[in-house]
Amino acid sequence: MLTIPHHGRYDYSAIVKRPNYSWPDGKRLALYVAVNIEHFAFGPGLGHAVSSELPHPDPRTFAWRDYGNRVGVWRLLDLLDELGLPGCHLVNTSVFDYCPEVLEPILARGDEFIGHGRTNAERQGQMWPEDETRLITYVRDRIAEKAGRPPGGWMGPWMSQSHTTPDILKESGFKFLMDWPCDDQPIWLRTRSGPLMSVPYPLEINDSPQMLVRHHTPEQFKGMIIDQFEEMLRQSEKQPLVCGIALHTMVFGQPYRLRVLRDALKHIASHPYRDKVWFTRPGAIYEHCAALPKGTMPGG
């Protein structure tokens, strides 16, 4: 029999053939808003870019990224407050040192911190396992120090993974990761130390690839959010689903984009069938699914 390389983390599972379950209070669609709060090195390393990058050190591009921490994050937090929506925040731990004021409203809101590396100027997927372990442990401990408890979830910078990332995360005390956009439901991944949950995180309903790579307009992204929500709400009559919306502070923190984002989120927050929607955070999704009877979720 001919074979091709496979990760071995999960087996194929058709969503239409799985056990049915519901979210709390019989709701069918779990929805969360993820805000990426990132800090970058000046000059070397990786980074988002809104246009062609200049030769290093390129202050123009660095300053555009930095706009997210100086202005954009505050606009996005205000919008979540305005609409009464919970949030989760994928935070580089270098933010804690560079702009610690950002922590205050997040803690006051009771929002969730997701481990998101030290800086988005690097990714851990190419690190030696010992170095990756040190990085993940460092991020875990820094968030625990600032938030009062360690993060349950991880999403690597650039969704980067090595062959051993899930194993290291499990062994470092993480409960779930968000780097495997293979499903609309949480699933269990295999690790060498037991199961680790994968909570869906959107690669497409994500402003970074849509705005910066595919060059869609803000109005087009607004339509994507609304269409994704409406279709998933319809499909959730058959299976419970997770609808994530991923934002970056330097992208949709820009005023002209923020304006249409407000319209999209208002559409969701005031929807006539909002009673079928669980407005939540990834950690709560994990807790609910981890308590389901064995065999309800694929994998494990």
Q: What does 131-180 look like in DSSP terms, one character per residue?
A: HHHHHHHHHHHHHHHHHSS--SEE--GGG---TTHHHHHHHTT--EE---
What is the predicted pLDDT for the residue at 214?
84
Q: Is residue 93 part of a domain?
A: yes
Q: 206: which DSSP letter?
A: B
Q: Is residue 296 part of a domain?
A: no
Question: Domain of 79: which CATH number?
Answer: 3.20.20.370
Range of the domain at 246: 16-42+56-290
Q: Is residue 90 part of a domain?
A: yes
Q: Is residue 48 part of a domain?
A: no
For the chain, 300 residues long, the average pLDDT of each consecutive 10-residue run is: 87 96 97 96 71 77 93 98 98 96 97 94 88 96 96 93 96 97 97 97 94 91 98 98 97 96 98 96 98 91
Q: Is residue 297 part of a domain?
A: no
Q: Is residue 299 part of a domain?
A: no
Q: How many domains is the chain built from?
A: 1
Q: Name which of 153, 159, 64, 156 is nearest 113 in CA terms.
A: 153
The pTM is what?
Answer: 0.95
What is the predicted pLDDT for the residue at 198?
98
Rounded-to-integer distance, Cα 28 and Cα 186, Å? 14
What is the predicted pLDDT for the residue at 67?
96
Q: Is residue 164 part of a domain?
A: yes
What is the predicted pLDDT for the residue at 46?
61
